[in-house]
Amino acid sequence: MRFTSTADFAISVRWKSRFAVWAVFVVIFGVVLAVFKLPPYDAVSGVAAWLLVAICTLPFVFFESTSTSVPLFELTALVHAVMFGLGPLTQDSMDIWLSFNYVPSAGAIERTLICACLAMSAMWLGYAARFQIPSVFGSRKLDLRLKPRTAAITGAVMILGSVIVAGGRAIPESLRQPANLIFSTSLGSALLAVVYNERKWRPFGARWLLLLPLLYASLFGLLQGVGEAFVTPAVVMFLATIGSGKGRAARFLVIAGIAFFALQPIKGVYRRFAWQVAPDAAWSEKAGVLGDAALNYWTDNLSVSAMVDSITESSGARLSYLLGVAHIVDNTPVPVPYQNGRTLEYMLGAWIPRLVWPNKPTAQEANIQFVRAFGILPPDAEYGTMVGITDLGEVYWNFGIWGIMPAFFAIGTIIRYTKRCIIDGAEGIGSRAVAISIAVGLLQLGSSLAGVIAGVLSQLVVQGAGLNIIRRMGSVARPGEPVRKSGVLTGV
């Protein structure tokens, strides 16, 4: 094993300017944290949160954009900064989560933030360490070259299929998992996003038509009351635009972010209607209820201070997992004992189809066990509302503080292996779409760690194989490039 040398991070003029921007940001964030941190947090927790955000944002200084690059490690680190580092500014209670009033014991928040700093430092070490691990693809990269037209049609079919699967109660539970892998919103959106950014095919002469299925998927997720499904197409477009180097990548996240924060305060009211009061209501009725709720709420909160307070409170409860993990740290190993890897067992059997193993645990098993063991939700709400345990919370619940650094070192190594062996240098529209879909999967670390890793491996095998079959049925993306005989996944 050897570590990335300084030559790999040679200081260029561009990186010097990035470092200066990062340094200014860290100073400003420290000042804001010192002035505006909420009452439950003391000076020690404020310093720990500041250090965590600094660690998590520094990787962007060294990110090097290429035609196929996806800032996988950088975005993963940023997700952790949001989940834990912003808590002192946005989350002063867990009223939305808990069925009781939780007050952390002395030092629980500080220990949690220190654990998060250790975790991110270990993940960075794992990402920087260079293991000589042989790739399952040998020295070759994914080769899933598709015609732009074929890729776009496949993406649209996947999105339509995902909507049918999500809304189809007649689909047997044993077939739902493979159906979700085949008809994947993230992969379908990625295929369309890559074609859109490559600008090599315009249906009926209008490139913007490629965005309609993504908009449809986003609106469907919104009407389902699932925030993740709502923002996934925007995140996919962001990643695809970064890789292409064409267009302004941030605009998609800005649009989705504005909508997300605007709707966040009324999400609970709408979910009760869509999930409990009238789950079988027509989509037009659901859209009307959502629109009326948003209009009524914001017309009653027109003042700037009321808007800021409302958005901060609701979004902080949704985006920050700090107090949730502090609850785990506070109550492990007494009264809740260490699990010693039991919640991670799902990874061992995730590849077995539910058709063969009808009673197979779900990917959310750790989240369900979490809310039961720690009393996060009342029993009647366990399956109606999902509370993520997060990767840090799951590792701590299983192994305590001593398991954090080894576990996150391994996660960093997995991210590096995924990026170097699968994402970087991937050839063709299909390969880049699979890479983006995997990146989206790895960013969902607010959920069960076992579910995320197992889901990414399943994506790679099932979706890679499926796109390769489509590739072999058609022809290569660029005229003059011969179709190479290929294996099921690698295309070589």
d(CA 325, CA 114): 12
Mean pLDDT of 181-193: 86
Q: Are 132 and 420 in contact (CB under 8 A)?
A: no
Least confident of 91-95, 119-123, 149-153, 362-366: 91-95
CA dist 269 and 301 (Å) reads 16
Reading the block at residue 453, the tokens are: 């890793």
Task: Give the mean model confidence (pLDDT) for residues 273-293.
Answer: 82
**How confident is residue 307, by pLDDT bands cut at 50, 70 and 90?**
low
Lowest mean pLDDT among 76-85, 375-384, 403-412, 455-464: 375-384
What string of DSSP letters covers 255-289?
HHHHHHHHHGGGHHHHHIIIIII-TT--HHHHHHH
Q: Which residues contact 73 (CB under 8 A, 6 or more apart)?
A: 59, 123, 127, 412, 415, 416, 419
- Spell out the alpha helix ranges (H) of 91-169: 108-128, 148-167
Separation of alpha carbons 98 and 95, rounded Å: 6
The domain spans of the chain are: 2-473
pLDDT band at 99 (very low <50, low <70, confident <90, very high): very low
Q: What is the pLDDT of residue 137?
A: 45
Cα 85 to Cα 50, 51, 90, 94, 440: the distances in Å are 7, 8, 10, 16, 21
pLDDT band, residue 67 (cuts 50/70/90): low
Least confident range of 262-276, 287-301, 460-474: 460-474
Over range 235-251, report the average pLDDT: 72
Q: What is the pLDDT of residue 489?
A: 36
pLDDT confidence of residue 81: 93
pLDDT of 492 over the 50 cut: no
Alpha-carbon span 150 to 201, nearest angstrom: 10
- What confidence category does residue 469 fall into, taking pLDDT thresholds of 50, 70 and 90? confident
pLDDT at 142 over 90: no
Higher per-residue confidence, 460 vs 321: 321
Which DSSP helix (H) or strand (E) runs through 3? Answer: strand 2-3
For the chain, percent of residues with pLDDT exceeding 70: 74
Nearest to 189 by CA among 230, 146, 225, 242: 230
Cα 232 from Cα 185, distance rounded (Å): 8
Which pLDDT does position 30 carry in this prediction? 93
Closest CA relative to residue 442, chosen from 430, 431, 429, 451: 451
pLDDT at position 24, please? 94
CA–CA distance, 322 with 52 (Å, rounded to integer):
12
311-325: per-residue pLDDT in tens? 666 666 667 888 888
Say what the alpha-carbon torsion angle 55, 456, 373, 113 is, to the nearest 10 degrees.
Answer: 0
How far apart are the C-alpha atoms of 492 and 485, rounded to whole Å? 7
Q: Kindly tell me if the per-residue pLDDT of 54 is higher than 70.
A: yes
Question: Which pLDDT value is given to residue 354?
Answer: 67
In this prediction, residue 9 carries a pLDDT of: 45
What is the overall mean pLDDT for the chain? Answer: 77
Confidence band of 131 (pLDDT split at 50, 70, 90): low
421 secondary structure, DSSP code: I
Give the H/E segment covering residue 130: strand 129-130
Whole-structure pTM value: 0.83
227-236 average pLDDT score:
82
